[in-house]
Amino acid sequence: MGENLLSVKNLTTSFKIDGEYYPAVDDVSLDIKPNEVVALVGESGSGKSATAFSLMKLHRAARIEGEVLFEGKDLMKVKETKMNRIRGGELAMIFQDPMTALNPLMKIKHQIMETLKIHKTKDRDEREAYAIDLLGRVGIPRPERVGNAFPHELSGGMRQRVVIAIAIANRPKLLIADEPTTALDVTIQAQILDLIRELQDDLNSGVLLITHDLGVVAEMADRVAVMYAGQIVEIAPVKELFKDPKHPYTCSLLNSLPNEELQGSKLHVIEGVVPPLNKMERDSCRFAPRIPWIDESEHEHNPELREISPGHFVRCTCYKNFYLKSDTGSNIAVEAQQMAEADEVTE
């Protein structure tokens, strides 16, 4: 076990709504080691992208508290000019939407050369050659031609590769990938994931992978953090999380996926929605309103993240007697299994 590459301590990011600050990221602590892929999972509105943007200090209007130690230095105390050198250099981000992340008025190669200018060399020819080389490395056929193209001439998959090429241009030590494959077809998704894996091996970097696709998580991650309403509700090594999920939210998410056994029958549905920032009950279990069939006494006041087995943390006590409710007859088998599992836990 090496040193932590990134160590986030009590990160809280608040946004102003009607004159008052409400935390969208609430006391998040997380470590990433070199060559480790940590996945951050959750529904839209759970605060996963807000976490990533806070790490990069890309939120201007927000109030950010806590510590973000990147190789030992606290990014929150770094001046903006210095931050500009770190961002895109040692710390890089792959953005979600390749359609909007690229400048429509710049040639592809110039967009890549731009980050090289700040971080690498001023020599134009050298940069151009390096940019073309990068395009080849992310699997773009005929890189010279694509380098001279504009973003609108490329397909979604190609654009995403360009975004990745820009992110890895300066051999980052930490790569933050915000939904890198959400907009892509499965075959291209598989290629992009291979690419990220290859680069990670090659550069020995850490990766923070943000996604809501649990299949991608299972394939890529070493550890998984599940976020709900701004808090991490469960962290575990990937195998443990998928085989033995504890928090009701994790269980519900895993059960809402279509799979072979459920073919043609009803999927599990999580009732309700993520509460809006300014209307959230902050001192009780935030998932409680969405599992109303679980008795109130199962939840704790001000739930904490506790280690229940080495490396496996769960928030709140409500997981102990949790079972999934089925509203139709077809999920009875699943429910029975869940109840049996719940029994095991209590024993």
Partner 1 sequence: MSNLLEIKDLKVHYPIRGGFFNTVKDHVKAVDGVSLNIPEGTTYGLVGESGSGKTTTGKAVIGLNHITEGEILFNGKTISGNGKSVKNSKEIQMIFQDPYSSLNVRKRVFDIVAEPIKNYHKRTKDELIAEVLGLLQKVGLPPGSLYKYPHEFSGGQRQRIGVARAIALNPKLIIADEPVSALDVSVQAQVLNFMQDIQEEMNLTMLFIAHDLGVVRHMCQHIGIMYQGRLVEEGTAEEIFNNPQHLYTKRLIAAIPDTDVDKIDENLNIRQSVKEQYNEHFHEYLDEDGRALPLVDITSTHKAALPAKG
Measure the CA–CA gap between 167 and 209, rounded to whole angstroms: 14
- Interaction between residue 43 and partner 1 (CB under 8 A): yes
Residue closer to partner 1 (CB basis): 26 or 179? 179
Minimum CB–partner distance for residue 216 and partner 1 (Å): 5
Instruction: Please give the size of the binding site for partner 1, defined by CB under 8 A.
Output: 40
Measure the CA–CA gap between 191 and 263, rounded to whole angstroms: 28
- Interaction between residue 238 and partner 1 (CB under 8 A): yes
Residue closer to partner 1 (CB basis): 2 or 310? 310
- Interaction between residue 346 and partner 1 (CB under 8 A): no
Q: Which two tokens stand for residue 132?
A: 């073309």
The region of 71-79, 108-116, 140-148, 216-224 touching partner 1 under the rule CB under 8 A is 216-224
- Interaction between residue 266 and partner 1 (CB under 8 A): yes
- Interaction between residue 81 and partner 1 (CB under 8 A): no
Site for partner 1 in 2-41 (CB under 8 A): none
Site for partner 1 in 217-236 (CB under 8 A): 217-219
Return the ∠ at Cα 57 (arms to 52 and 62), rounded to 5°: 95
- Interaction between residue 259 and partner 1 (CB under 8 A): yes
Minimum CB–partner distance for residue 186 and partner 1 (Å): 4
- Interaction between residue 141 and partner 1 (CB under 8 A): no
Binding mask 175-214 for partner 1 (x = CB under 8 A): ----------xxxxxx--x------------------xxx
The region of 63-71, 86-94, 146-154, 265-273 touching partner 1 under the rule CB under 8 A is 265-273
- Interaction between residue 288 and partner 1 (CB under 8 A): no
- Interaction between residue 156 and partner 1 (CB under 8 A): yes
Minimum CB–partner distance for residue 74 and partner 1 (Å): 34
Residues that bind partner 1 (CB under 8 A): 43-44, 155-156, 185-190, 193, 212-219, 238-239, 242-243, 252-254, 256-260, 262-264, 266-270, 273
